[in-house]
Amino acid sequence: MIEGNGAFSGALASYPFATNATYQFAGPFTVPVSFTPPFPGPHTGVLSFFIGGQYHSIALRGNGISAGAPPIAPEIYPNPFNNVTSLSFTLPEAAHVRAVVYDVLGREVARLADEAFIAGQHRLSVQATAWSSGVYFLRFETLGQIETRKMLLIK
Phi, psi of 74 (to 5 degrees): -65, 145
- The vertex-31 CA angle with 27 and 36, nearest 5°, equals 165
Number of CB atoms found within 10 A of residue 27's CB: 6
Q: What separation in angstroms does the CA of 11 have from each of 51, 61, 74, 122? A: 20, 10, 22, 12
- The predicted model scores a pTM of 0.60
The model's confidence at residue 56, banded by pLDDT at 50, 70 and 90, is: confident
Distance, in Å, from the CA atom of 104 to the CA atom of 133, rounded to the nearest integer, reads 12
Collapsed DSSP state (helix, strand, coil) of residue 133: coil
Tell me the pLDDT tens digit for each residue of 13-42.
444 444 434 444 556 666 666 666 666 677
The model's confidence at residue 3, banded by pLDDT at 50, 70 and 90, is: very low
Q: Which residues pair with 49 in a beta bridge?
A: 2, 56
- The vertex-131 CA angle with 130 and 135, nearest 5°, equals 165
**What is the reported pLDDT for 10?**
38
Q: Assess whether pLDDT exceeds 70 at residue 68.
A: no
Number of CB atoms found within 10 A of residue 113's CB: 18
Q: What is the 3-state secondary structure (H, E, C) of 18-79?
A: CCCCCCCCCCEEEEEECEECCCCEEEEEEEEEEECCEEEEEEEEEEECCCCCCCEEEEEECC
Structural domains of the chain, with CATH = 2-64 (no CATH), 72-153 (2.60.40.3080)
Tell me the pLDDT tens digit for each residue of 101-153.
999 999 999 999 999 998 888 899 999 999 999 999 999 999 889 999 999 99
